[in-house]
Homo-oligomer: A and B are copies of this chain.
Amino acid sequence: MTRIVDVARRAGVSTATVSRVLNGKSVRPELVAAVRAAVDELDYVPDRTARSLRRRSSDVVALVLPDVENPFFTAVARGVEDVAQEAGFSVVLCNTDDDPAKEARYLAVAEHENMAGVVIAAASASPALAGLLARRRAVVAVDRAVPDAVDQVTFDNVALGRRAAGLLVERGFRRIACVTGPRATTTAVDRATGWRLALDDAGLVPSDDLLVHANFRVDGGYAATSELLARPTAPDAVLATNNLVGVGALRAVADRHLDLAASGAAGGTSVGVGIVGDLPFATSRTDDVALVPLSPRGLGTTAARMLLERLDGLDVAPRRVVQDGAAPPGGTSAGLHL
């Protein structure tokens, strides 16, 4: 394998000079040329392991996600990757399966691999960030808030839930159930709170038995919706607070041979569905679904930009960005609302 000394010898300079050329420090032009030539001839690429050992930081950022099979999170990943890639960082994706232990393990790896930074959608209410923070590594929490003093990018989940439920109200539904995620997941709880507020706004009763906590996956949404629809006094609409639960809800409706109701005026063989999130792989028309689209990719790009700013040495108090569901702001500094 070609090492830096090989290049140095070939170019007739010291390894220090080679390193300086490669890292853009000022070096006499003819030496730069000689080094460049030697690098080309030898096909030299620096060993990143050695580099990170010395620099005490690699150019890899970890993206720690609860579920890489959820299109929401893969979209976040795309966003992070686009920005990081652009800046010369590689992104490694770590799947925690919503398991705090797996999460802790990955965070430890990120720490001891000397990764440049971490973007995390936390599985646990309080992820094990202590080690990383002690080493002053850049950390950005995305989608789910964490108690630590780190940059955070989230949606306004209460507003999202409220908006989605509001859409159903506008369409004339009166008995609107809500299927949300586990009580321990803040996004799930907040969106349910939004649902409650929307019903209050409309003078409807957000009765407790219309709120179901399921898991945040397809099977959870399916089971919860099936149960709701099987009740003697079934709801006339169901609000799913995330994409997968929404998929489950739609499938439950289809399996019961019910129609999707566009409005509350329809009869008893149809039911309305609202979803906070997107349906990238829907196999049916979704015109009649009250969708509140999100921009997980935007969440990812914003988080990545914040991370890069930290890596650039930005040293201000942790920032908290609340993104709307709409397309993300472009522009400099991630369009951060500080």
Contacts and interface: CB of A to CB of B under 8 A. Distances in A.
A270 interface: no
Contact of A77 (B46, B68, B283): B68
Interface stretch (A9-17, A108-116, A193-201, A206-214): A108-116
A298 to B, nearest CB: 15
B218 A60 contact: no
Given A93-B93, A95-B78, A47 B283 contact: no
Given A1-B135, A112-B45, A283 B78 contact: no
Contacts of A247: 281-283
A48 interface: yes
Given A48-B113, A113-B49, A218 B280 contact: yes
B283 A109 contact: no
Interface in A269-327: 279-286
Interface size band for A? 35 or more
Contacts of A71: 69, 71, 281
Interface in A241-284: 244, 247, 250-251, 254-255, 279-284
Contacts of A244: 281
A58 B49 contact: yes
B281 A218 contact: yes
Interface string A214-236: 00001000000000000000000
A47 B114 contact: yes
B254 A285 contact: yes
A49 B114 contact: yes
A283 B250 contact: yes
A336 interface: no
A83 interface: no
Contacts of A50: 53
Interface in A33-90: 45-50, 52-53, 58, 60, 68-69, 71, 74-75, 77-78, 81, 85, 90
A92 interface: yes
Contacts of A85: 102
A311 to B, nearest CB: 17
A334 interface: no
Contacts of A92: 60, 90, 92-93
Contacts of A1: 135
A282 B282 CA distance: 5
Given A45-B112, A69-B74, A92-B92, 10 more contacts: A47-B112, A49-B114, A60-B92, A68-B77, A71-B281, A90-B94, A90-B109, A218-B281, A244-B281, A247-B281
29 contacts: A45-B112, A47-B114, A48-B112, A48-B114, A49-B49, A49-B58, A49-B112, A50-B53, A58-B113, A60-B92, A68-B68, A68-B78, A68-B93, A71-B281, A74-B74, A85-B102, A90-B94, A92-B93, A93-B93, A247-B282, A251-B282, A251-B283, A251-B284, A251-B285, A254-B284, A254-B285, A279-B281, A279-B283, A283-B283
For the complex of A and B, the 9 pairs showing the least CB-CB separation, nearest first, are A92-B92, A93-B93, A281-B281, A284-B284, A250-B283, A282-B283, A69-B74, A49-B53, A254-B285
